[in-house]
Every structure is written in structure tokens, then in C-alpha cells.
Amino acid sequence: MSLTSYTKATKPFEGQKPGTSGLRKAVKVFETEHYTENFVQCILSAMSGSLTGCSLVVGGDGRYFCKKAVDIIIKMCAANGVRKLLVGQDGILSTPCVSCVIRQQQTAGGIVLTASHNPGGPDADFGIKFNIANGGPAPDAVTNKMYDISKTIVEYRICPELQCDISKIGTQEFTVDNRPFTVEVIDSVGDYVTYMKEIFDFGAIKNLLRGTNGQPLKILIDAMHGVTGPYVRRIFLEELGASLNSAVNIVPLENFGGHHPDPNLTYAADLVKAMKEGDFGFGAAFDGDGDRNMILGHKAFFVTPSDSVAVIADNTDYIPYFKKHGVKGLARSMPTGCAIDRVAEKKGVEVFEVPTGWKYFGNLMDAGRLSICGEESFGTGSNHIREKDGIWAVLAWLSILAGRNMSVEQVLLSHWGTYGRNFFTRYDYENCESAPCNKMMAALDAMCDDASLVGKELSHDGKTYNIAKIDNFAYTDPIDGSVAKKQGLRVLMSDGSRVVFRLSGTGSSGATVRMYVESYEADPSTFTKDAQDVLKPLVEIALSLANLKEYTGRQEPTVIT
Ligand code: G6P
Ligand code: ZN
């Protein structure tokens, strides 16, 4: 029986502008009649020539509204001439896994249903993101096109009668408008696990956990009730043989158990507490959709994401994938601490500084100029896919611990011994009023043109810094020449220390101000000091330079990492 699709009249909604990582709004907004359909139509229409007859991947982090959104997407893809959809079982696919499947199955792209680390549930957030054929988040040119379409949309196409059961793995065939349409429900974990086994030496990691060459390493992995639960179970418990108490919160929940599924010192406080007790030698947590990670050592020794990526880049000998493919270049986002730059210099490879957002790494990887990259926002990854990858980062770390037979802390001390330490901290002021924050950014922007600030001395508590340059970061993509402007205010000091101010691009309402502070120390006696103590004077200088407390009305940040 052939099903028929229909054209439904609709009107544009304001603000369907994809942010750093897709369209993120409250669930209630996505539940507004036609809202989700409009945006899905914008994604499909923006594909223009490559839409008809194509294959797409669909999956998400399992949060509330995912299943409903999958249903809408299936019905709309069928009506828009898509030939085949690969859907994760029950709609579940981690963000890195979507990227992996797009690349392996060579689809035209994928739709990722997640609001990443934002809370989930009927009163929390949802999100829709489009990834292109290379497996990475759509670049600005594509998301701008979607946004433009959203402003003038008058209709969308849907096949309301199509019913598809996504709870069972297998292929279902339909005929829609006399065209064949296939939905293949895929195992959410299988291909990804196979790929990880190619990239890493699972035998070496198994030996590390078992203690074949010494003490067994006890690990504690916190999936925070996000999408990584099934991946953690399969990889760490079944494949690597870690004991059952090595993994917690591995059942994905629609509201992440009421928590904020963000792997940092504040929102993964339970993990930090458990690690402090000292029973475990290695700890890690992931965010809702599995692309972010936090790495902890014995007694909750914290590895900043900026150091984490530098350490991985410095220790690629222990990872079979890099032995096979080599390391072509390294990269970080602009606010990320500069530790990786020093590794690049020593290894004699290129290093790139891109705006915040994983999408900016994609072109460099496709052009064969970038192998390993990371962001201060707990994102670490490589050119094995085109998303950051939390589980990959943990496997990379375990490979290094196995290869070097050291603890997390020993690895960091050795790294700092070679390169010096880039102390780094980030202050977040979440959910502030937008208007004053925009004013603050405008005032900072005006400082870029104020030549009298260059050379100015700023002091606090016995520490003095000299302003070398203030600018609003702009980036020209070396591959396609596209330009991204106003990506964050940078205050660069003469000794290489930096302060950066940005507004978050991932919130769903209000404004979140981020302040990033970094300074470099070559003196080994400083290496074991607390980053907060070392950076305190520069933090105070930065706060008063931006008049941040006055503009935000906040005395303290909501999160410090
Ligand atoms: C997402 C993106 C990252 C980006 C981060 C920044 O996680 O995938 O690439 O670094 O958002 O978020 P922000 O809230 O600082 O814009
Ligand atoms: Zn995420």
C-alpha cells in the first residue's frame, strides 16, 4: 500500500537560529504546534540538491521529546523524498556515534537530537542539530541557510500515516507517494565499539585494569544517566572486563535523573566526591550526548581539558590509530589553554586556533591537516570522526596510563616538567539578563580601538601584567576562506598570559558569560600549586577590567572549572 504525503501550511517562528551546536530551546517551545516540523523542514530544504534519494542518520541522547522528534523526522523525511533513514534503536545514538555512522555508511548527513549538557525533561531543554556528510556539525554557511529558510517558511511536507516501530533492530520498507522509503533501525552501540577496537589496543587496557604488570587500576566511570550508559556497559564492563562497581548512572533517563548532565567539577560533584575517597585511580564522566568528558586521577586529581588534549597529543605512540595514520596537525579553540601549542612546536607540526565550536575543526581534518584537537569546554577528539568523543578520550587516557605505567598525576607532572604549565581557569555566570551582558561585551569591544590601553599596567596582590593587545577574535578558515568574526574578546598580556570574555552560544535562554584566564609558568616549584591560587590576581584584574560584577549583578560565578 502506498502512503501519501501532504503539504501543511505553517508560519515562521522567530529565533530558529542554530547556535554553537544546533537549535536549542525549552521542550515547551519544541512542543508548540508546527515548531519542530518547521525546523526539520528547514534542515531538509537547506540540503536542496542532495536531499532527494539520499540516506540520513537519526538519533539522540534519549532525553524527553527524542522519541516524538524521531517520529516527526521519519514522517517528514519520507515526505521529502529521502530514500533511507538509519535510526538508532529507541532513537538512541551518542553524538560521536552519529558522526561515526554517517562516515561509515556514507550518508548525506545526520540529525542529532540533543541539548548536549543542558538538563532534560518536560520542563528542561531539547535540541536539534544537523551534521553534514563528513560527519561533523554543519558549518555556518549551512546553518545560516536553515535560518534564512526559517524566516520565510510557509509550508512543510509530512506523511502522517506512516507508523514505524523503532524499538526493534531491523529494516522496514514503505512506499510513500509511489517511492520506496526504508527505515533501518540499527544497534546503537555496535559499529562504534568495533571502531574503538580498531583505534585502541584493548588488550593493553585490559591488562592495565587487571593489573597484569602491577597493581590493578580501579576505574570509576559516571555516565550521568546520559546516552553513554550502553556504550560504557559494552566497552568498559563487557569488552575490557572492568568490575561492575566501575560504572555508575549507566541507565539513560529522559531527565538525566534530574541532574545537569555536564561533566565538570560542579555538576559531576558525586564523581568528584567518590574519587576523593581514594579507592579509585582513574575517574571519568560524560555529558548527556556523550561528546564531552572529564578526566580525574586518584583522589580526584583534576585534569583540565586544555591539558588533557595536550597530553594525548604528546603520547600518540601508545595509540595504534596514530601509529598507523601519523599525526598531521593539532588544534584548539581560541579560549582553550595553550598547552597543546607547545606540543605542536616540539613535534614540528602545525597548530590551529579556531573559534569555539567543534564545527571549525572539520575542514582542517578533511584537508588532512589536523589529527588531534580539543576545547576547554571538556571536548577532546581526533580525526577518527568529526565530533568530539568522550569515550574515545577515556580510552586514549587509559592507553597512555598503560603505555607509560604511570598514574594520571605522574603523567601530568612529567608533561609539565617537559613543557611548563599553562595554568587555566574558566568562570561561568549562567542565566544572566541578556541586555547588560551585551552591553558589557560592547564595552569590551570598544576597548579594542583604544590604543591608550596598550602598554597599560594592571596590578593586583603583588602581581603586575602589561596589556599587549586587546582584540575581538576573528578567524579565516585556511581551507575555504570563510571568515568568522567577533568570536570573543581577548586581552593578551606581554608575558603571554591571557584573559578571554565570551557569551555562551549553547544556552536556551538568557545570557551566560564565560571568562577564561590563563597564565604560563616554567618554574617547576609552581607546578603542584592550585590553579585558583596562582590565577587569583589575574582573575581579579580581569573582573575589574570588564566591570563584570556591575554588569551581571553577580558577585560570584555559578561554575568554576
Ligand atoms: C558545544 C560545542 C563545543 C563548544 C561548546 C561551547 O559543546 O559542541 O564545540 O565548545 O558548545 O559552548 P558555549 O556555551 O561556550 O558556547
Ligand atoms: Zn555534548
In percent, how much of the chain has pLDDT > 70? 100
Ligand 1, atom 2, lies closest to the CA of 357
Ligand 2 centroid vs 262 CA: distance in angstroms?
A: 8
CATH fold match for the domains 2-188 and 421-560: no
Residues known to be catalytic = 116
Question: Which atom of ligand 1 approaches the CA of 376 most closely?
Answer: 10
Ligand 1 centroid vs 280 CA: distance in angstroms?
A: 30
Cβ of 378 less than 6 Å from ligand 1: no
From the CA of 289, the nearest ligand is 2
Q: What is the pLDDT of residue 140?
A: 87
Report pLDDT digits (tens) over 289-310. Answer: 999 999 999 999 999 999 999 9
Ordered by start, the domain boundaries in the chain are 2-188, 191-419, 421-560
Question: Which atom of ligand 1 approaches the CA of 387 most closely?
Answer: 8
Q: What is the pLDDT of residue 125?
A: 94
Cβ of 379 less than 6 Å from ligand 1: yes
Beta strands in 433-529 (DSSP E): 457-460, 463-472, 475-476, 483-484, 489-493, 498-503, 511-521
Say if residue 400's pLDDT is above 90.
yes
Cβ of 514 less than 6 Å from ligand 1: yes
Place of cell 576597548: 447
Say if residue 491's pLDDT is above 70.
yes
Say if residue 255's pLDDT is above 70.
yes
Rounded to whole angstroms, what are the CA distances from 316 to 75, 304, 309, 326, 328?
45, 19, 11, 9, 12
From the CA of 377, the nearest ligand is 1
253 phi, psi to nearest 5 deg? -125, 145
Ligand 1, atom 9, lies closest to the CA of 357
Virtual torsion, Cα 16, 18, 19, 20, nearest 10 deg? 170
Q: What is the pLDDT of residue 72?
A: 98
Answer for the pair 372, 330: CB distance below 8 angstroms, yes or no: yes
Amino acid at 185: V
Its CATH architecture, for the domain 421-560, is 2-Layer Sandwich (3.30)
Rounded to an integer, the average pLDDT of 105-132 is 96
Cβ of 121 less than 6 Å from ligand 1: no
Sign of CA dihedral 31, 34, 35, 41: positive
Answer for the pair 471, 334: CB distance below 8 angstroms, yes or no: no
CB under 8 A, 24+ apart: contacts of 551-554: 551/436, 551/437, 551/439, 551/440, 551/443, 552/429, 552/432, 552/436, 552/437, 552/440, 552/513, 553/432, 553/433, 553/436, 554/429, 554/432
From the CA of 112, the nearest ligand is 2
Ligand 1, atom 14, lies closest to the CA of 504
Cβ neighbours of residue 184 closer than 8 Å, sequence gap 6 or more: 84, 85, 86, 87, 170, 171, 172
* Beta-carbon neighbours within 5 Å of ion ligand 2: 116, 287, 289, 291-292
447 versus 125: the higher-pLDDT residue is 125
Report pLDDT digits (tens) over 130-151. Answer: 999 999 999 888 999 999 999 9
Where residue 508 falls among pLDDT bands split at 50, 70, 90? low
Cβ of 116 less than 6 Å from ligand 1: yes
Cβ of 380 less than 6 Å from ligand 1: no
Ligand 1, atom 15, lies closest to the CA of 504
Looking at the domain that runs over 191-419, which CATH code has it been given?
Answer: 3.40.120.10
Cβ of 118 less than 6 Å from ligand 1: no
Where residue 497 falls among pLDDT bands split at 50, 70, 90? very high
Rounded to an integer, the average pLDDT of 234-241 is 97
Cβ of 505 less than 6 Å from ligand 1: yes
Q: What is the pLDDT of residue 23?
A: 95
Q: What is the pLDDT of residue 19?
A: 80
H or E, element range at 113? strand 109-113
For the chain, helix (H) and strand (E) counts, in that order, are 18, 28
Ligand 1 centroid vs 131 CA: distance in angstroms?
A: 15
Q: What is the pLDDT of residue 317?
A: 96
Which residues, listed in sequence order, are joined to residue 183 by a DSSP beta bridge? 85, 172
Ligand 1 centroid vs 177 CA: distance in angstroms?
A: 40
Q: What is the pLDDT of residue 49?
A: 87
Ligand 2 centroid vs 256 CA: distance in angstroms?
A: 13
Virtual torsion, Cα 187, 192, 194, 196, nearest 10 deg? -160
Q: What is the pLDDT of residue 527?
A: 95
Cβ of 195 less than 6 Å from ligand 1: no
Rounded to an integer, the average pLDDT of 361-386 is 97
Cβ of 375 less than 6 Å from ligand 1: yes
H or E, element range at 145? helix 140-152
Report pLDDT digits (tens) over 49-104. Answer: 899 999 999 999 999 999 999 999 999 999 999 999 999 999 999 999 999 999 99
Ligand 2 centroid vs 224 CA: distance in angstroms?
A: 12
Where residue 21 falls among pLDDT bands split at 50, 70, 90? confident
Range 129-156 burial, b when 16+ CB lie within 10 A, else e: bbbbbbbbbbbbebbebbbebbeebeeb
158 phi, psi to nearest 5 deg? -150, 150
Q: What is the pLDDT of residue 185?
A: 98
Q: What is the DSSP letter of 509?
A: S
Substitution candidate for ligand 1 out of 356, 473, 487 with most atoms within 8 A of CB: 356
Say if residue 470's pLDDT is above 70.
yes
Averaged pLDDT score across all residues of the chain:
95
Looking at the domain that runs over 2-188, which CATH code has it been given?
Answer: 3.40.120.10
Q: What is the pLDDT of residue 496?
A: 85
For 275-340, the DSSP string reads HHTTS-SEEEEE-TTS-BEEEEEGGG-EE-HHHHHHHHHHTGGG-HHHHHH---EEEEETTS-THH
Cβ of 114 less than 6 Å from ligand 1: no
From the CA of 390, the nearest ligand is 2
Question: Which atom of ligand 1 approaches the CA of 137 most closely?
Answer: 8
Q: What is the pLDDT of residue 212?
A: 83
Where residue 541 falls among pLDDT bands split at 50, 70, 90? very high
Ligand 1 centroid vs 21 CA: distance in angstroms?
A: 7
